[in-house]
Structure formats: C-alpha cells, structure tokens
Amino acid sequence: MAGRFAGRTAIVTGASRGIGFGIAQRLVSEGARVVITARKSEALDRAAAELGGSDHVIGVAGKADDLEHQARTVATAIESFGSLDILVNNTGINPVFGPLVETDLGAARKIIGVNCIAALSWLQQSYRPWMRTHGGAVLNVGSAAGVQHAAGVGFYGASKAMLAYLTAQLAVELGPDIRVNGIAPAIVKTAFAVPLYDGREDDAAAAYPLKRLGVTDDIASFAAFLLSDEASWLTGQTYIADGGVTLMGVG
C-alpha cells in the first residue's frame, strides 16, 4: 500500500495534531502530497516538518471557517502540487459542556459554523477549481456523539449528526465522480478528547468491548482505506469507529 496515493494531493484540515495529523501522516506515507491547516502557524510548521517538509507537505495557517483561508489553501494545493484529489474535513470544535438547555447560543452558532458549514464550504472551494472536472474523494470526520446520546456534549453531537446528513446528501449530488464518506470515532486519545478520559482512562475503556480507547492510527488507517480506490464502491456513509462502545448504549 506504500504507493496507494502516489501522484495525488490532499488537504487535511485541523492537522497540526491528533486525528488530522495522523491522517496526514498516513497519506504521506502512502505517497500523497498533503496541504495541512490549523490556526497556529508554529504548531503547523512543526507538524509539516515532522511529516517530511515542503517536498511532501505544506502548511497553511488560518481559521477553518474563514473563506479566504479556504480559498488560499485550495490554491496552494493546486499551484504547488498540481491537483486536489482528496479533502479531509477534520476540524471540529466543542467550546461548551453541559445540558442543552444551558448551552450558550453564540457558542452553538460557532459550533455549527465550524463543524458543518465550514465542512460544506471546504468542499465547495475544492469542487469549483478541481473536483468538478477531475473528481475526488472526501472524508468528513464526525463523532459517535452524533449517533447517540452523549452526556454534556449534546450540541456537539447534534452538529456531527448534521455533518453525517450532509455527507449522505453530498454523496448523492456529487456521484459518480466524487465520493463522500465519514468516520464517527468514539473517544480517541488526543488532546481534544483529554477531558473525556483524563485521570480515568481505565474506567472509560471498561465500557468498550475491546477494552481500550482509540488511538490516532485506528482512525488514520480507516480513513486511508475510505479515501483509496479500494473503497471505490463506498459513498454516502458515516462509519462508526468506536471499539464497539455504541453497542453498549453509552457514548
């Protein structure tokens, strides 16, 4: 599989660390050239260097929901590497925790803006100059919280449920030349998820049939499969990657 993405270019958003970094790393290892994004340029520069430097990876700093940043990133991918074959919408935020009835509405609007509207906008920006003519593969990183109740993160879960709907709708509209799929992870051990397991990892993992939390490689390997030609008959689905925990009725 070392050359599965040879000659292809990807954009991975929110890729300075965590799941996004893991997916970018996997794509590079299999031959892709990757443009990664994140808000902080210093972290992005470190990630790009770790991923192999400018021959393989370029970092473009900016806010995921900023249209000018999106356009600049897309242009960088096409101008620097000659194509834009893969888009990974990984960026997600959850600035609030608690019951829905107490959710700050400003924060709720921001969550929808970044987790859903920005994902759509990234695809629009990628579609117009490249994918409309050449096709491509898109992956939206959702959450198991979008599949069933998850205490304290209800609006985040609602945004990920919306993202799953957008994934299905876009797959119908853009087939056959563009495939759109999603992954819905449960707890993966990243900085984003630390509040969900910090100091109680063993207790959190006990609810999982596989008796461990996820790691970034669990998601990155699945992402690479869905983005590859091996998944050429798969589109419109959001696949739960959760160590079996949603089978137990807990998030």
Concatenated DSSP letters for 8-69? -EEEESS-SSHHHHHHHHHHHHTT-EEEEEES-HHHHHHHHHHTT-TTTEEEEES-TT-HHH
Name the residue among 164, 116, 195, 251 with its Cα closest to residue 124: 116
Instruction: Give the model's pLDDT for residue 154.
Output: 95
Contacts of 44 (CB under 8 A, 6+ apart): 15, 16, 36, 37, 38, 59, 60, 61
Q: What is the DSSP letter of 131?
A: I
Contact 162, 142 (CB under 8 A): no
Model confidence over 33-68: pLDDT tens digits? Answer: 999 999 999 999 999 999 999 999 999 999 999 999
Contact 166, 172 (CB under 8 A): no
Catalytic residue among 156, 197, 208, 239: 156
Q: Which helix (H) or strand (E) holds 240?
A: strand 238-241
Tokens of 151: 């205490």
Tokens of 241: 């990657």
Model confidence over 190-207: pLDDT tens digits? Answer: 887 787 788 788 888 999
Task: Please state, in angstroms and as integers, the Cα–Cα distance from residue 174 to each residue in 26, 75, 131, 169, 227, following that order.
Answer: 26, 21, 10, 9, 15
- Return d(Cα 105, Cα 111) in angstroms, integer: 10
Q: What is the pTM of this model?
A: 0.95
Model confidence over 134-159: pLDDT tens digits? Answer: 999 999 999 999 998 888 999 999 99
pLDDT at 184 over 60: yes
- Return d(Cα 193, Cα 216) in angstroms, integer: 12
pLDDT band for position 2 (cuts 50, 70, 90): low
Name the residue among 85, 84, 153, 149 with its Cα closest to residue 115: 153
Domain boundaries, the chain: 9-241
**Residue 156 catalytic?**
yes
Q: Considering the domain 9-241 in this protein, what is its CATH number?
A: 3.40.50.720
- Return d(Cα 239, Cα 182) in angstroms, integer: 6
